[in-house]
Structure formats: C-alpha cells, structure tokens
Homo-oligomer: A and B are copies of this chain.
Amino acid sequence: MGSVFGSKLHISIFGESHGPAIGVVVDGLPAGERIDLDELTRQMQRRAPGGDKTATPRKEADAPEILSGMLGGVTTGAPLCAVIRNTNTRSGDYGNIMSAPRPAHSDYAAHVRYGGFNDVRGGGHFSGRLTANIVFAGAVCRQILKRRGIDIAAHIYSIGSVNDAPFEPTGIPAELIERLNGAKFALVDESAEEKMRAAVSAVHEKGDSIGGVVECIVQGVPAGVGEPMFGGVENVIAAAVFGVPAVKGVEFGSGFAGSAMTGLQNNDEFYFDENGSVRTRTNNHGGALGGITSGMPILFRAAVKPTPSVSAEQKTVDLQTGENTTLSIKGRHDPCIVPRAVPVIESAAAVALMNLL
C-alpha cells in the first residue's frame, strides 16, 4: 500500500510499464478550480521522453484521459482520475520470469517482496514511466497553488561534477520561474547546458550513465504553515520526494553543507523589510523552522542517482540457476534522467504543499 500519498489531498497511483495503462486518482481537490489543460500537457511534455532538443510534441496517444472530477475544464470536487494508455503492450505475452536482476534496479527487491508475481516487464510498477502520474497530479496542484500566490520552480543543480548557478536562497525573480516552468533542460545559467550535455555524452559513449542534483524552490507560502515534529514541512516534502525513483537524498536550505558550519554562520538573522514583514537576510534554514514555514522560500535539493540501466556489461546473479552471471542491458536508456526529473520533483513538491496548506 505504498502508492498512495497524503492526508488532505490524496493521490493513489496505479499502473505497470507494460500493462494496459497507468494513472492516478487525486482526491481532495477544491471544487471550482479551472484547470488549463494546455498548461497541464506542457508540464507532462517536460517529463516525457524524447524530443528534448527538437520541437516534436509527444505522441497524442500518450496524453492523459481525464475520467472524472472535471466538468467543462473546472474541478467538480469529486476525485479526479487520469489514465494514460501504454501503447507497447502485447496481450498474451507474459514473459514474466525474473532471471538476472539489474544492478541498482528494484528487480531483486521486488522479486522477493512479491514472491515473483510482480510484473517485471519494463520494471512494472517501479518503472520511471509511473512518474508521469506524479507530474499529472502536480501539474493540477501547481495551477491551484499559483492562484493562491505560490510558485514552484526547479533546475538542474548539477550533473556529475558540472554545476548550474544555484538559486538565490532568499528568492528568485518571476521571470526566472516562468522560464524554468517551461524548460525541458531547466537551468539558471543556461551556459551550463553545453558542459552538462558534454558530460552526459562522455559517459554515454562508454555505455555508462550519470547522476545529478535537482534544486527546487517554493515561493509565496506564508509563514505559519506546517506542524511540529513529524508533520513538518521537511517531513512531508521528503516523504513525497523520496517517492520519486532514483532520489537518494533530500536536504533543505544549507543542508549537509550547513552541518559543517557554525551557528553564527548558519543562523539566519531576522529583520523587518520595507513592508514591515519579518524576513531573514539569508535562507540557510530553507524556509522551515521547527517544521513550520517562516515565510521565506522553501528551498530543497534532491540527489538523483545515475540511471541504473547502462549498456556496459555488469555482474549480477541468475535467480533461476543460482549462479553468478553477467548482464548487458539492451535498449535505449536515458544516460541521465536528471533533466526529466526536474518537473517530477516540482510536482512531488506541489502535491506535498497541497497537503500542508
């Protein structure tokens, strides 16, 4: 029962990579919210595979069909369900035998968990394809949040050892938010793209892959949101963001770097701004103190591990024979999923935010 999230806005995700369809039910949306389906599609295209440099839109067949919860483009308050068909399924083809689990994939763990009955084709329910559902739910939530003055943006903080310029922790301009929200390769400093692509190409040529970090900012959340202890902003966001496959770390504000600082370096002093609002000069706390928002932007970074699927030969086990073996993963795999992870992590944050507000 792991594919559900939320106590106020609730999502329930379903689907397997090679089954008939994937989808999501979003329960708890406010009624009367107009949803711009073009904007929603745009967000889903940011995550969609292919076409990242060209203008080729994703195939229409891959578009979500909304089955409920919307009437005339407006939410009804009833659960919203969207379904995305899988087009690569072949009925009758149940080649479901797990032989050699792919290193760093869920194959082996899921095999044990489900006694070998899980759908292994394409990773089944663990496929990265399932993140399309998170983007769908998040894209709906983001439109509602925006109407309440809350913006979410993320960028490729790093790929391998190549860094983008970091977000200004105390806030980023509206123009940057808008640009990033439309980007497929989201960078603060667009000049980093070339180096990042070069880094990806370099590993790709060797049949290898590479990871990176996504940085995300949420602006416009008023002070006083969240709960102490386990209901805090960090807890809820982390619980959502660790639901994105390949995320292995989450840090807020100065995070791990901050833990090497002194108090005087890391503490953010308060001041009254020109409007009489309480703000902090710096934002090492990442927008939450004691689990509750301070009114400063919520800022976090998520570590995305290198794509586990690499074409180079790897050692693994053969669960059928009980012998050690080797494996070469066929097919085209993203040598770096970090760019596509950007809208997924923004969306996970959006779903988390809806649960906090």
Contact = CB atoms under 8 A, between A and B. Distances in A.
A62 B295 CA distance: 37
A55 interface: no
Interface in A165-218: 203, 206, 208-213
Interface stretch (A36-44, A45-53, A231-239): A231-239
Given A3-B227, A76-B124, A119-B71, A12 B10 contact: yes
Contacts of A19: 67-69, 71
**Copies of this chain, count:** 4
A213 B256 contact: yes
Contacts of A212: 259-260
Interface residues of A, number: 153
Contact of A1 (B9, B247, B276): B9
A14 B232 contact: no
Interface in A253-297: 253-256, 258-272, 276, 278, 280-281, 284-286, 288-295
A324 interface: yes
Interface in A86-131: 94, 96, 101, 103-110, 112-119, 124-126, 130
A210 B267 CA distance: 11
A112 B263 CA distance: 24
Given A130-B229, A210-B263, 5 more contacts: A5-B229, A112-B295, A254-B305, A255-B303, A261-B306
